[in-house]
Structure 1
Amino acid sequence: MNMKTFYTLLIAALVASLVIVSPVEAQDNEEPNRLSIGLFGGITIGHMNIGTEYDPTFGFNLRYAANPTFAIQTNFQFGEFTSSDEDGINNEGNWYDRHFTNSYIKSSVSSHINLLRMLGSTSETINLYANVGLGLIYNDVETSMGNPQLNHSEEYRGEDHSNIDLFGVLGAGVRVNLGRRLDLFAQYDFNVANSDLIDGHRTRPDREIDNFKRTSDSWSSLTAGLQIKFGSSDRDADWHTYTPGLDTRRFSALEDRVSNIDERVHDNTARIDENERHIRALQERMDEFERRLNNLEQLVADMDRVDLTIDSDILFAFDSSVIREAAKPTLAKVVRALARHSEKTLHVEGHTCDIGSESYNQGLSERRAASVKRFLVESGIDANRITTAGRGELNPLVPNTTEEARRLNRRVEMTIQ
């Protein structure tokens, strides 16, 4: 394959990755984090006219994640290619004891495609990806010849030079999600330049150029590093699948949906697994919550203790601790019950799902519980009668394996006694 064909295919692959994996996302209440910077190091080995050592290389990247399947990355890398004492590749043995050093700086733009996502995986912990890109390499080459006494030595001398060449890159890697701010990655790349002078030596002497085509220099690199993610959201586009935020109409439709749950479960009995049975039980608890809420004053009068569980998505928008307007009539019923029974106290606990870090979710649950207390106090309830706590993601009602399960785990629990 000649270089023109290689670069044509490389550009076609780059364009295809942009088209095939174009970002299609549901709108959410909050923009996910998309930008990050990576720091990495590793080794390179050249596949050139003169054999090379395993040389160290270092660099950094700037990354933009469009969605969990596709990202664009700009890479900056520097290091040296140095010759080894082994025989040359294309000169029938390194008889002239030729050596070189190339102090290079290179930059490239590549598209990254999450292969596991394309195969249907929804993992938010690990991905395997392929990358394809184009770049420029600045070469500062110095050559030497330790044995210039043989015939035709002048024809095999190196060419010291400083110039810029185009190169293409194909690679693959693995990325691991270490948390809200950090990813770990390891990557292999195969690079091909449009020059045979990366090592300062041509494939064959000029006098033979008509008889033998020159071959482009290439090199491989194996690198590993850390990706530092930026942004204020507790989710980032590299990992999370985004779902639409809660519509206030869900509150008014909740009773109808719960009343139909038995029929839906009956139609799908053969396919219900353990997690779905948990969800069914929780929906029934929501039905019980509606019944208790409508008779709350009587329940408080008749019982020593009354427990209520409210879906956080009813009270709050996603990742918010501001009470929805549509939820205030619900809390007003709690206010009336407490106002009529001044001897009763209230304990409020906030709970979250596992989206985000544990420390962030702990803080969010505490803020939500405090927000409920603030509403009740502003409605006339003595603050000394109300205690609050946040449990974060530590006490889920069901495993956080689906979006529906996560929604049910986002809740506020109230105990009147």
Structure 2
Amino acid sequence: MISNYTDILFRYIFINLTTILIFFIVGLKLSHAKKSTDYWRIAFWAIAAYAISMGLRFGRMIDYNLYAERYISIGEHPAWSEYEPVFTFACWAFYNAGFPYYIFICFSNILLIIATLTLLKKYREYAFLGLIIFLREAALAENFIRWYWAYSFFIFSFSYFTKKKYLLSGVLAGLSVLSHIGMIILFFLVAVLSLIKRQLFSSTITEILFLVSLLFGSTQLLGILSPIISLFGVDERSLSYISDYNDIISGNRGTLGYADELSIRNIIQIVLAYSIPIFTIPHLLKKKLITNLEANLFIIGVILNPILSKVEILGRYGDAILFFSIIVSSVSYGYILKNKKHLPKYALLLCYLSIISNIWPAIANAINRTNWWTMLYIWDSGGKDSLPMILFK
């Protein structure tokens, strides 16, 4: 235990709760933004808050510390890099421009929040909830450095795809895949779902599949995807991912990469969080408040995420698809609250419970941490780039 633990804990809680409050206030103000310039002028405060609360975090989780050494290695010897060219170039450019590792990390988180705000711009009326739900759905941005760098470009690409700006979307898709080859699976999914012009499954079937997945899902069920996953083996790195995938679901890696089992309380919270949005989808589609593509991505995410999240390497896909909850859930709540005069009291009660369940993980993440090495900021680093890996074992 370090001597200034209380100061570190207080500062971490204060910064993160303040960020949630800023997101809420900024989201409310964004709903009144008439022009694009007004939108981004207001959004600046959310970007700044996230740049501090997440971008300036030090040590964070295991990947932050692994990539610290790799950042320097790529900067000095880019030809030796085993990573995709866009990510390699980004590390090389930042390093040779004289930026320390934490600036590169901060920029990657700024990129993610700007991408998210670009996605939410169409739904600015609901941003006061969408931004806080973002903190839940992108919680692992503190760990998966390269994944969320690439995912930011995926979100940008998706946003422009829905605006029918296909050339720009294609360029951004290229930047995404050339940052992390695993993104190709997400783009394939978007391409397939974009051809479906209706709700993929009824809300009742979706809810049943969601509950079955949550209560009884296992990684062995993912074996049916092995033939499809194999099609994405386009290079040495993607082939290694496929090998990992098959080894993990077959149990050849033991419990390596497996997540802890959910408690009854966690299960109840997840059911409350997503069930109301699931059953609101038909109304949102009828009113054209969301698109079929966004609804179906959410549906796939809510069904598969409970299974995928059991294994780290797969969980990032579940999180990436369920990320669209920031649209579906926030619009769902906004629609219900706008029509509360026409709804029974029990429906409103369920809506409020769902909102609390959806945003609680962001609050819990701010107040429930105990390990000092997961709550540090760059001013706690003592000039170091990383923490000892033994802390994370």
Q: Same fold (TM over 0.5)?
A: no
Normalising by structure 2, we get a TM-score of 0.24
Task: Name the one with the larger strand percent.
Answer: 1
Larger Rg over CA atoms: 1
Higher relative contact order structure (alpha carbons within 8 Å, sequence separation ≥ 6): 2
